Structure 1
């Protein structure tokens, strides 16, 4: 994978997250916290898990140590979550824009949340980050439908067509 590929995915992620945010903007905090079917049992808990994961990975990629649990809810209020999500999406774009193909091939050594040390190429990590987001955005999509929101069109192909990545 080359740097341009991950730059496209960072922008897709920001775009898809903006659609999730727009859908969540139509709900009140009670609806966001209400029990829903998915691995994380509410929209807010699923949103938080995604943002915790992205925050942890961005810290690791920058060589920072950050202690958070994958089920933590550091942004229990939607407005706080929304501000943090927008900031992290901007940060991810800024980060991937600094990478070249050689940097993506570099191996990063880091500790996971359990303290186990791993060494993984950056391109594999970046692939995981964007795949993880897609996985949980699918769960959010289902949770939003259960909250009465219409289905979202956030597949990658819609973004690619809109932004000229597919001709």
Structure 2
């Protein structure tokens, strides 16, 4: 399972880079406009992804600051957000690289944010959730980008595997 999650961590970084590159040329108005996504705008959705990853990484590593709400805007500036995203992606890769199958199969305990409850569950399904959550919200950003006339991004895992991620095949 470790290799599987390493592939997803690498794919996650690759897909995030593509999304951020597509957002670079947006006007500030388009970037911040409420487009009806769960968190409204591209700006707020990208912030949410960073928030969620910091929360999960804090839970899994017992290190780092965890935001107290899912809709916090950590960075108002696009460049600062992009840099923080890149650093978080690297942090996720480093975390997954340090895992072994025993740890992945083992339980860990954390407290939820929205409705504080203590949860104990295996780490593996949580890692799957973290990567699936990224894919879900990147899809929302992609939909907003295309509605603004932007390029239709190729973000499929299989495309990654056929290109930059060929080492995982």
Match of 1:78 in 2: 78
Aligned equivalents of 1:105, 1:96: Cα separation in 2: 13
Match of 1:87 in 2: 87
Structure 1 SS opposite 2:37: coil
Aligned equivalents of 2:26, 2:121: Cα separation in 1: 39
Match of 1:151 in 2: 152
Q: Which runs of 4+ in 1 moved over 2 A?
A: 64-68
Aligned partners of 1:3 and 1:101 also within 8 Å: yes
Aligned equivalents of 1:67, 1:141: Cα separation in 2: 25
Structure 2 SS opposite 1:76: coil
Match of 2:10 in 1: 11
Aligned equivalents of 1:118, 1:54: Cα separation in 2: 18
Aligned partners of 1:107 and 1:121 also within 8 Å: yes
1:9-158 to 2 correspondences below 5 Å: 9-64=8-63, 66-113=66-113, 114-158=115-159
CA-CA distance at 1:27 after TM superposition: 1.2
CA-CA distance at 1:74 after TM superposition: 1.4
CA-CA distance at 1:71 after TM superposition: 1.2
Aligned partners of 1:29 and 1:78 also within 8 Å: no
Larger displacement relative to structure 2 (157-166 or 93-102) = 157-166
Deviation string for 1:29-53 (max 9, x for gaps)? 2221012131111000111111111
Aligned residues: 165
Aligned equivalents of 1:94, 1:119: Cα separation in 2: 23
Aligned equivalents of 1:110, 1:95: Cα separation in 2: 17
Structure 2 SS opposite 1:39: coil
Normalising by structure 2, we get a TM-score of 0.93
